[in-house]
Structure 1
Amino acid sequence: MKIVDIKIFVSNPGRNFVTVKIETDEGVFGLGDATLNGRELAVVAYLEEHIKPCLIGRDPHKIEDIWQYLYKGCYWRRGPITMTAIAGIDMALWDIKGKVAGLPVYDLLGGKSREKIRVYGHANGQDIDDTLHHLDHLISEGYNAVRLQCAIPGLEGTYGTLAGKKDYFELQSDRPLPPEQLWDTKAYLDFVPELFKKAREKYGNSVDLLHDTHSRLTPIEAARLGKMLEPYNLLFLEDSVTAENQTGYKYVREHTTTPLAVGEIFNSIWDAKELIENQYIDYLRTAATHAGGITPMRRMADFASLYHVRTAPHGPPDISPIGHAAHAHLNSWTPNFGIQEFIGFGGEALNSVFKYPMTFEHGHLIVNDTPGLGVEFDEKAAEQYPYKRSYLPVSRLKDGTLWNW
């Protein structure tokens, strides 16, 4: 079997997605997700100009050799553009191997460790009552783990809420430039414990609660927040500190027993090595789409398991259903899987482009036994939703200083 073509599709059925299709001389093809939110076309150029010419004629079954070739062979290793491009190729190769074998990818990885995949949803609100209203709704849908985010009094919003809109993507409909919002650390630290206090008063411990700081705090500020949230028994506190300096989490860990999670912007095991081996974190949030695909995620999970760290892959709406399916197969296999972020199945446009092998039942995803990744991609339908330039937001302090978003 040989690779005869690699096609790249960019579509926007609600969000921009970069879909990789590897075709073979035996008619079997595989699909991969190479979406990098806000830098989609950079990945497309990398795939078209630098990867595709190198893979035509190669054996698609040699997944490990191709992964090493793309990682080590370019000399300029790592980075989100490179690793997202490699991820799209890697997923497509696993999809081909599964289809040829007649087996779902989780069976190729070693078989299921579990029959269902626990997920958590997002409850975002403009105030505490609004957030708890959304929490009510998710609980009624069957979720038993929910992330709470709330606008900060005195600001137009904070991470998870923007200017009264459901989603930052909506703010760019007329002017596709990065939305900007203010950040006030003191106001945030004064407010967030009250949100979780009210949630526990209403629900007790019947639901697991999570929170995402989105790297807005210094280590000592994050330590203070973790300490204040200890009475509310969070499943985890996510991205409390930027992780470029991995030892920052050492100081948070030393001051609080609130479980810590990080990793959604990581693109290799090296981003997490010290965090894992020093047990500074409890959950690794790295996404297959942004970290080179299924092949390296297996290694990251195995390495994490040696240090009591569980996986909790990033699951935003800007990862395509192919990326979510890759996570579902990985999560089914991973012995040290913890929980999966899940924003729900897409709307009419997305569902006209992608068909995916998952169902949601009582706070869990169930993945079926379709060979490969199990995702179908309608190329004609995708043509109806052309790419639309968009960006993630940026944050500024009240004095105008650019801050972490």
Structure 2
Amino acid sequence: MSPLKPAPTKAGAALPITGATVVVTCPGRNFVTLKITTADGVYGLGDATLNGREMAVVAYLQDHVCPLLIGKDAHRIEDMWQFLYRGAYWRGGPVGMTAIAAVDVALWDIKAKVAGLPLYQLLGGACREGVTVYGHANGETIADTIAEAKRYQAMGYKAVRLQTGVPGLADTYGVSADKMFYEPAAAGLPQESVWSTNAYMRVVPELFAAAREELGWDIELLHDVHHRLTPIEAGRLGRDLEPFRPFWLEDATPAENQAAFRTIRHHTTTPLAVGEIFSSIWSCKQLIEEQLIDYVRATVVHAGGISHLRKIAALADLYQVRTGCHGATDLSPVSMAAALHFGMSVPNFGLQEYMRHTPETDAVFPHAYSFDQGMLHPGDTPGLGVDLDEDLAAAHPYRRAYLPVNRLEDGTMFNW
């Protein structure tokens, strides 16, 4: 049965789950998708991709989660979330929470299809006309990066992330040969990169100074540190960037120690964003309650799905912290659509990352969302507005790939 034309379901009636299958495909990079089917033929999709550790989530879903779903009522989304979280006893972690997120999003997809509404309408309706997004401009040199940023400006983007190569380093996070479809994971054993904080700290202020000179002040500029600085180093970088008014400084230091962000706050007024690797509200509770960050970047697929992300957003709203969901290409169009429905509906939306998928990926995951003048709209198709071409997915078999790792110049293992 077409997901766009669900069979009528009696209001209030249970909707038994009859099937749960996991589809793994690699149209240029790996994606894991959970498909949940109900007794009346309506199905929902959930993204379960964990970059570089995809098959760990596949095993957790297939061996532990999917058997639990059969016969359950697809409408009882919150109860199912609690069942999978509390019932496992071993709570949290990226593998378990990614699996829960896949179930949660698939059930929301089903509920919205049964209702005949785009998902954001079930989440309270639209709080805005569209979801403002940012793209990724990168280059080997500052001039290359600014040229890419101008290309994004010409495409209608109102916000752009800037990443540039660091002189003296063979490769740098965020800089890729394919400027539009960045993918850091690669086949074979993990690539080992070399890192120099001193060289990096010199080049980033130069990048932003040149960017403001060339791009002007009518575009928002962002930067991702990718967890590579100590708190005091991050404070120094944030202070150096203040004259150029960055929209945010992302992942300035590892956030396992949430209190570390106090040090950064003491030294800079540059807005701070963090959270793409958070797996639950507990990962950001102190950061939010002490207003140590300005944007929480937890994502649908890794932070327990739409249900849990709404709890994070609600807590953040009390402290004037806004959302800034992760949206890299290691999240499938299923996850991107979920983030857009979420972003349309929460009052404290901030900004949405948008790395475009390749044509091969878009063919496997046909979708209703669209880009126009710097914003994405999820569309008004019932549910998420994303489907899965399973025949085409099968034509792109899984290929094991790893994210890179980092070492300092003396060989010490470091944060990638």
Please classify the TM superposition score into its range, dividing by the shorter chain length: over 0.9
- In structure 1, what is the equivalent of residue 331 of structure 2? 319
Kindly state the Cα deviation for residue 178 of structure 1 after the two structures are TM-superposed.
1.1
- In structure 2, what is the equivalent of residue 129 of structure 1? 143
How does 1:216-227 map onto structure 2 within 5 Å? 216-227=228-239
Q: Give the aligned residue type for 1:151.
A: G
Question: CA offsets per residue over residues 223-276 of structure 1, 9 Å max, x none?
Answer: 000000000000000000000000010100111000000000000000000000
Question: CA offsets per residue over residues 52-87 of structure 1, 9 Å max, x none?
Answer: 111110000000100000001100000000000001
- In structure 1, what is the equivalent of residue 252 of structure 2? 240
Q: Give the aligned residue type for 1:244.
A: E
Q: Give the aligned residue type for 2:338.
A: A
SS of the counterpart of 1:377?
A: coil
C-alpha separation in 2, matches of 1:398 and 1:332? 44
**Aligned pair 1:41/2:55, yes or no?**
yes
Question: CA offsets per residue over residues 308-361 of structure 1, 9 Å max, x none?
Answer: 0000000000000000000000000010000000012x2231122111121110
- In structure 1, what is the equivalent of residue 298 of structure 2? 286
C-alpha separation in 1, matches of 2:278 and 2:86? 18
- In structure 2, what is the equivalent of residue 348 of structure 1? 359
CA contact (8 A) 2:163 2:174 kept: yes
C-alpha separation in 2, matches of 1:114 and 1:186? 42
C-alpha separation in 1, matches of 2:72 and 2:269? 50
Match of 1:146 among 149, 157, 160: 160
How does 1:90-105 map onto structure 2 within 5 Å? 90-105=104-119
CA contact (8 A) 2:196 2:409 kept: yes
C-alpha separation in 2, matches of 1:171 and 1:276? 31
C-alpha separation in 2, matches of 1:196 and 1:297? 32
CA contact (8 A) 1:165 1:171 kept: no
Question: CA offsets per residue over residues 76-131 of structure 1, 9 Å max, x none?
Answer: 00000000000111000000000111111111111110111100000010000110
SS of the counterpart of 1:288?
A: coil
- In structure 1, what is the equivalent of residue 407 of structure 2? 396
Taking structure 2 as the reference length, the TM-score comes to 0.95
How does 1:154-169 map onto structure 2 within 5 Å? 154-161=168-175, 169=183
Q: Give the aligned residue type for 2:238.
A: G
Residue segments in structure 2 that go unaligned for 5+ positions in a row: 1-14
Following TM superposition, the consecutive aligned residue runs of length 4 or more in structure 1 with deviations greater than 6 angstroms are none
Kindly state the Cα deviation for residue 17 of structure 1 after the two structures are TM-superposed.
0.5
* Percent of matched pairs sharing the same residue: 56
Cα–Cα, structure 1 residues 180 and 379, in superposed 2: closer, same or farther, change >3 Å? same
C-alpha separation in 2, matches of 1:381 and 1:159? 32
Aligned length: 401
Q: Give the aligned residue type for 1:386.
A: P
Q: Give the aligned residue type for 1:347.
A: T
Residue segments in structure 1 that go unaligned for 5+ positions in a row: none
- In structure 2, what is the equivalent of residue 113 of structure 1? 127
C-alpha separation in 2, matches of 1:91 and 1:134? 34
Kindly state the Cα deviation for residue 41 of structure 1 after the two structures are TM-superposed.
0.4
**Aligned pair 1:305/2:321, yes or no?**
no
C-alpha separation in 2, matches of 1:270 and 1:333? 23
Q: Give the aligned residue type for 1:243.
A: A
Taking structure 1 as the reference length, the TM-score comes to 0.97
C-alpha separation in 2, matches of 1:395 and 1:366? 37
